[in-house]
Amino acid sequence: MSFKIEFQNLSEASLTGNAVKITDPVISEDKTELKSYNVNFLDPGDSISYTFQIANNGTINAKLSEIVKDTISCEGYGMFPRVAEIPFDSNRKLMTTVHEENGKYVVYTKGGVDYE
């Protein structure tokens, strides 16, 4: 007697924004992992989603207490570390960050400008 928790019926990808699917996830041979997928997120807010079933194909009751994904690798994030920042200020109506990029400093500012 045993329990056997498995992934089943993986759906097609649902993409939002400018996300680009490179490879679909694969359910492992033992059906306990989703692996080997690759997605490019081109813009903030891009996303990808899949649906799947989790089934107990064993011979005794089982309780699913946790699904763990311990690694998300992302190329690009952290490539240009933030070395300074000026937080959003309601008087300036701006926030500013300073990043080191290829041995030089680059300043990014975002916010609203008042036109009179």
Q: Concatenated DSSP letters for 26-52?
A: EE-TTSS-EE--EEE--STT-EEE---
pLDDT at 4 over 60: yes
In this predicted structure, what is the pLDDT of residue 94?
86
- Per-residue model confidence as pLDDT tens digits over 9-61: 888 888 888 888 888 888 888 888 877 788 888 888 888 888 888 888 877 77
Mean per-residue pLDDT for 105-111? 85
| Residue 44: per-residue pLDDT | 80
- pLDDT score of 75 more than 60: no
- What is d(CA 33, CA 97) in angstroms, rounded to the nearest whole number? 39
Quote the pLDDT of residue 40: 84
Yes or no: say if 32 and 7 are a contact pair by the CB < 8 Å rule.
Answer: yes
Mean pLDDT of the chain: 79
Q: pTM higher than 0.85, yes or no? A: no
